[in-house]
């Protein structure tokens, strides 16, 4: 029987696909079925590698894929 667990690459791909427009962390967390600590870890990786942008102000929805 094949494992149904997602790998890190699958999770990162899901986050990037969902973040084609600006999204809040909560909506990303719910739509990718991750808990807060998992989301934080993956988002930090993506931000450090330039795949996601941080919000410019506190009123801006937080995340958007950079398209690179």
Residue with the bigger pLDDT between 60 and 27: it is: 27
Q: Which domains does the chain have, with CATH numbers?
A: 8-65 (1.10.10.10)
Give tens-digit pLDDT for 4-53: 888 999 999 999 999 888 888 899 999 999 999 999 999 999 999 999 88
- SS3 assignment for the chain: CCCCCCCHHHHHHHHHHHCCCCECHHHHHHHHCCCHHHHHHHHHHHHHCCCEECCCCCCCCCEEECCC
pTM summary value:
0.74
pLDDT computed for residue 3 by the predictor: 64
Predicted confidence at residue 21, as pLDDT, reads: 84
């Amino acid at each position: 029987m094949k494992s149904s667990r997602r790998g890190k690459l699958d999770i990162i791909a899901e986050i990037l696909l969902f973040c084609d427009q600006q999204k809040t962390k909560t909506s990303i967390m719910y739509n990718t079925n991750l808990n807060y600590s998992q989301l934080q870890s993956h988002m930090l990786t993506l931000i450090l590698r330039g795949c996601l942008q941080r919000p410019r102000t506190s009123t801006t929805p937080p995340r958007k894929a950079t398209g690179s």
